[in-house]
Structure 1
């Protein structure tokens, strides 16, 4: 039994409905007697194939696509340079706020499934999804596979520790070096700390927590440096001078050290010796700051906002805010969202009040009280006309504009980091507009104010030239923090988040962060069996704090739940994770089904049904025991900080989020090892094998997404492409008959028949499509040639040239008409022969097979976020090893952007197909 003290763990934060500090054996027995005698389902897998969508916005639809993830900035009213990740939640439990009890029709605490008559997605049992190789349901099949993988993990962990112990024993004592990852317990147990971790657990784990290796900005140190105001000059002239000066400096440096850019020696940091002080990120740092968005251009006098049918005049600030809403009337998902409209209108009225209000043409004040009476149509039409005009510009004009834009941005795109040229990621300050948010964010529609230089802090090397702020402005501060990896920082007004200018995803710093993340997950391999054994034992602990912690660890490990942070519910969306689950977020169905329904990361709905071990089900039932009610915390004696502190006793730097990376990578490693003997398959087949493994990882680790609105349309188009190739195949067969009619008897009449999924009506429709496609292709080529002639100052071709070029269209139409009438296809091409047509049919068969594999892949991926797993949780070296072992180009799995991001993985593993996670 643990000796955790209740004094260190606050009671429930809401209504005073706290869980008892201990669980008596009598209570356990009473709950067992009351339990249903129904046979529990096998634990460990989602049983509902629904939109578990906390990752749904981060998925690419192509095998090698990239995704953008929004940064998780820390939230607060005072500046904080610490990482705002799951593991850095230091708020006391006593300060965790309960969501206020609202009217049921408008409550954020109400289970999402009950809102608006929300229909739940079908379960696996309802859809009848089965595995490819037998009639066993896919869920059951994967649950067994997951159980086998966990057994393998336990064996590997014991083998690794045994090997390490033997190696240490064989090492002479004189030269023995302390290994931080060694699993030998210390001679004396540590004193129990105030995080609810038992002394027995400390004695068993015996690992001293290491300092964080986070790359997040650290707290400010020393005095804040400020710049004096720039010399008086007109903004336009000064701005141009500054830009020209920076561009000239950049061009000079480029010509000096980048003439042979492609031949520049690559910095192989993964081969470099480890720094003694890992907290120091750079010695020298030079950069040119940030680019601010252009100033607002007022509307023409004839473009007005209308209120109650009458045009109104606005102050320039109010007019700009009006254009934010007016320019997005086409975005119905926003302007038809009541929360979006309400927040915008409240902010708009505040701006009107601040700037003197709206006035009619006679100068009298207009009292704007109703958003429905505001007419933004003229503003929308004005911006639509501008957009259409931009799209219709000649290619040469677009090219010239892009060249000018590139020239302006060139000085900001790269920095000098310890003398190396590194690409900067987001050097543009976000323009003002309306905050969209993700999911059901309560502040959607709020006005994002323009960021001024006076809000921006610059981080740069001491000896480097500080970037000049725009004319008439100054920076908020300039500092020289070499333990921070950001170049500039400011606070936005909507959520109070801090925004950072960081290096690009393919930079050394980002690569090192990824490398550390995956190495930490590999380190977890050594300890996973002990961690699982410990929390399984503590699921029956008599100490409530220990039992809650063990249950949370089970859910995080088995179902990839995020740990969760404390939330400021007055200013933030009611988003939760495992440790902050509330009473209404968890529904229990006997004998061991748990339904999660809450807003997860980025306010995106997490809905999932899972089967759990009976003891876990019993514990959750106990944690929800009356008098607890909606708004009360499930884990009222646990928070993320305590959980991560406990985990660090097993392994330095271990936090809850490492489990997601470990489970995805280890599972993928095991699945890929099972693919031996498939090297003779074609490249498309090998790609599908990889994607099948990736899909299993996504399902097992619960990385799902909602089915995209365009999925069915995409699948239909892909099906049409396949049928189109089958039609070409049929035409080639008919041409074979044209050159050798005897083949019909030799090969049989069936060989020359149309496929079952095609009929004469479809053939006619497809022929019409082919005619239109050819016409569009010729017309587009004609227009492009004319644009080129125009850009070169030459006379353009007349319309009669287009008519001449379109003659093949009429010929194709006539050919189809004749074929449909005669039921014969004349042989085409030079020296046609049955052998040539047979070779063509073989090529078409290969293309059809490839597209059918792609079709099966896409259909299988429609509810699974492959990109989330592959990009963020599966060690990229596993993909590199697969590509090397099966002779598949890495380009088939990683786009150019991802190849740059994971260059360290590609280079460090190279062609070594023996590397293991």
Structure 2
């Protein structure tokens, strides 16, 4: 090899375009060091998700989706990640891999360096208050610096704990070994036996088994009704609540024998067999298509046309959603729909006019779906206008028809089924910029569905005239039925509901896996910091990918085919997805999960910046892989060498849960419920920021904040009116309390007041109307005579009186006292209560404003261990309902019942 060839870290590959050389020469490394200022770890920089891209100093920013993306040929040649390897050393334990003396020296220097402990590089973040980042409000330290300090503190604590856990396990192992040896020498004379070392204080320390695998822990005692009541979330106080609570506890006590606390079941292993017996009733199919009324037609080029039933159904898919401008104004959506529509038209003979002449439908622009849309809008309005009793009856009938499918019997236990309804036909919408949006989702037939059921159980009957594709008895599968959809060829499964044992166990294992990672995280970080400088290209690429996944929460990414959405993850990043801005800024811009654009501008370690520059070195160009010597399977295989079952996605869960655990450990939430909830959300927000769980600001956010502000202004106006009533009762108060106390807020001018008064009067009219309609429905249901409109008019007099009262107040400037037995003290108490409500609403509004760019829900539901939320709820006496909806409480029932306030992640 010539020296010129050695200087180029790239080679041409016929199958994969440009590919990096196996090794990085010292000459290339040194040349990069001269070109890029390197000072080890750098100061944190900006992180702007979905923001504008400035002019780049090195690479011109490129957009996604210009032309089809080339399919990436897997480097594993079809092998699984267990078989694939990114290097010849991958199959060897880390401790036995070859290492040069120079590398060994570097490892020693890294372990001794204080900088090697500094982990996640923080970014410039959405606005956060000082309280959100654990600093005093008058701190002069910039936000970025405070976040870096917080991150360094959290990560150093993680390293310390990892070492402590391993030392503890090592000591426990030595103790067990010593015990075995002691037991084996029971026949040895006492004088010759080895005497154990004396304990320092003579007291045997109780070892915690929090990190011991579940199957090795001592079997817990059966939960009593009292214990369950203690584990239950806080409930609202009051007579009614107390009655409900008592009933619930009585019911739980009665069902104590039936409750299965699977998280305490030590006998249940984690083998491949998921069930022994399984019974269910199959799936519910959507109703057959009903033809449109004869006067409702698709209009083509100004002519109403009659379509075949199959073609008309497809036309209704589009016509019924004309109000969904996001879709019907999307060129890709329209193109895909019309291609599928014309395919059906070609099969069914297109349309016919009123005289029976064939009308060929060839141009989308000439199609008018408005009559179809108007029909469906009318039907929707009719359904919405149905009396409540009729709606209730329809729902009851639907629930009764679906009742047999809602539950299955799994190993003798009744379990709720999740999605037992087969998806109805329609148009595929997708998310983000999906290339197949608008295509027709075909009706699923029984002949496409495979049923999974116990061998001894009777298989459900297929609909009349049909049969199932197959009946299986897959004891390793947790699905009840499956079929393949026609859009992406993906398999759809009927699974158990989120609150079922199986789903709960899946969540439990996911978070336990993240807990286990805390034992190894320090070694993993030290190793990838070392390998960032490896001479071997595969090792350097792998280390850089792990750095990006750990520091910036990038998903690992999987290889895609040509007909799939152009979604990307870390391992599948292309040349055009990464833009480099010296000295150390990296811009990511690609389609991520669900075809949603991922844009992030971050500052990275100088070594990582240098590596990415090498990975992008010419002649690489658009379409070439950045990590061309790395696959997701090879990456996960490497991570598995540290910890069984460790994959790239565990880092997101670990980083979120560990960070939240540290914040909650130091938190001292005080005040009322709203203030405590805000304290929790502040911690959650910090987790979301540090772990990069961001979102674009919702289009409705501004209107939502404005609405909250209007409510606050309404309360301020109400407080002022009550103060005016006080002044009306005792004019001397103006001198006692000062004129300022009674002044109307400056921003609430007469124009605003009159508009608000009109709103209050209209609100009163709507309440009266709804109450009148509800009372009439009740009378009708009981078979009694309904009230006439005269009754409604009489009730409306209350609203008319309110309007007259406001008019008088505006004219005289005085507010009459309302209510019987009113005193000045009572009115003053009312003012205090109103201001308390205002403060609560201000906290909620501030909380909402702080959350606009941060996906708190994503962090709380998917990445933060739910047991940490339960710990907060119990520690600070906040009802769990304030954090988890009913659905989430069912999903995380295991977390709510399994921990107390002293539990630690």
What TM-score do you get using the length of structure 1 for normalisation? 0.80
| Aligned partners of 1:521 and 1:659 also within 8 Å | yes
Aligned match for 1:295, one of 281, 288, 294: 288
Q: What does residue 523 of structure 2 align with?
A: 530
TM-superposed deviation, 1:88:
7.0
CA RMSD of aligned residues (A): 2.6
C-alpha deviation, 1:176, in angstroms: 9.1
Asked whether the equivalents of residues 89 and 566 of structure 1 are also in contact (C-alpha less than 8 Å), the reply is no
Question: Does 1:715 pair with 2:728?
Answer: no
Which residue of 1 is the match for residue 169 of structure 2? 164
Deviates more, 1:815-824 or 1:434-443: 815-824
Contact persistence 1:89–1:565 (CA under 8 A)? no
Kept in 1, the 8 Å contact 2:337–2:440? The answer is yes
Aligned to 2:155: 150
Match among 464, 471, 474 for residue 464 of structure 2: 471
Bigger mean CA offset, 374-383 vs 441-450: 374-383
Counterpart position of 2:903: 915
2:624 to 627, 632, 635: 632
Residue aligning to 1:319? 312
Structural mapping, 1:504-903, within 5 Å: 504-569=497-562, 571-676=563-668, 678-679=669-670, 681-903=671-893
Highest CA radius of gyration, 1 or 2? 2
Q: Which residue of 1 aligns with 2:47?
A: 47
Query: Could you tell me how far apart the structure 1 residues matched to 2:453 and 2:495 are?
Result: 12
Is the contact made by 2:40 and 2:606 (CA closer than 8 Å) also made in structure 1?
A: no
Contact 2:408 / 2:414 at 8 angstroms: preserved in 1?
Answer: yes
Q: In the TM superposition, what are the counterparts of 1:238-257 in structure 2 within 5 Å?
A: none
CA contact (8 A) 2:126 2:853 kept: no
Alpha-carbon separation, structure 2, partners of 1:323 and 1:895: 35
In the alignment, the residues of structure 2 paired with residue 308 and residue 90 of structure 1 have an alpha-carbon distance, to the nearest angstrom, of: 60
Secondary structure at 1:625 match in 2: coil
Structure 2 SS opposite 1:18 = strand
Residues 404-436 of structure 1, C-alpha deviation per residue, up to 9 Å, x if partnerless? Answer: 100110000000001111000000000001100
CA separation in 2, counterparts of 1:149 and 1:809? 59
User: Taking structure 1 as reference, are residues 157 and 662 closer, same or farther at Cα in structure 2, changes over 3 Å only?
Assistant: same
Q: CA offset at residue 731 of structure 1?
A: 1.6
Tell whether the 8 Å contact from 2:569 to 2:592 is kept in structure 1 after alignment.
yes
Q: Aligned-pair distance for 1:815?
A: 1.5
Residues 369-401 of structure 1, C-alpha deviation per residue, up to 9 Å, x if partnerless? Answer: 110111112211121221111111222221111
CA distance in 1, matches of 2:773, 2:444: 43
1:449 matches 2:448:
no
Q: Secondary structure at the match of 1:17?
A: strand
Equivalent in 265, 272, 277 of residue 284 of structure 1: 277
The CA deviation at 1:880 is: 0.4
* Residues 50 and 598 in structure 2, CA contact (< 8 A), matched pair in contact too: no
The 3 A distance-change label for structure 1 pair 154 and 37 is closer
Q: 1:421 to 1:760 in 2, by over 3 A?
A: same
Partner of 1:190 in structure 2?
Answer: none
When structure 1 is superposed on structure 2, of 579-588 and 319-328 the one drifting more is: 319-328
Runs of 4+ in 1 over 4 A off after TM superposition: 9-15, 36-41, 87-94, 123-130, 173-177, 258-264
Deviations 1:469-523 (A, max 9, x none): 0001000000111110000000000100000000000000000000000000000
User: 1:588 offset after TM fit, Å?
Assistant: 0.7
Q: Secondary structure at the match of 2:786?
A: coil
Match of 1:270 in 2: 263
Task: Provide the C-alpha distance between the structure 1 equivalents of 2:642 and 2:282, rounded to a whole number of angstroms.
Answer: 42
Per-residue deviation, residues 819-846 of structure 1 (Å, max 9, x unmatched) = 2222222222222212111221221122
**Structure 1 counterpart of 2:355, from 362, 385, 388:** 362
TM-score, normalised with respect to structure 2: 0.81
1:290-337 CA-to-partner distances (Å, cap 9, x unmatched) read 001111111222221121111222221111111111111111111111
Shift of residue 259, structure 1, vs aligned partner: 14
The secondary structure found in structure 2 opposite 1:171 is: helix
User: Equivalent residues in 2 for 1:321-470 (5 A)?
Assistant: 321-470=314-463
Counterpart of 2:25?
24
Change (3 A) 1:127 1:472: closer
Q: For residues 593 and 47 of structure 1, what CA distance do their matches in structure 2 show?
A: 10
C-alpha separation between the residues in 2 aligned to 1:701 and 1:13? 39
Distance 2:419 2:83 in 1: 29
Partners in 2 of 1:556 and 1:699 — Cα distance? 15
Q: How far apart in 2 are the matches of 1:904 and 1:359?
A: 60
- Alignment length (residue pairs): 763
Contact map agreement 1:298 1:316 (CA 8 A) in 2? yes
Offset, 1:855? 0.1
Quote the offset at 1:274 in angstroms. Answer: 3.9
Contact 1:51 1:706 in 2 (8 A): no
What is the distance in 2 between the residues matched to 1:856 and 1:546? Answer: 46
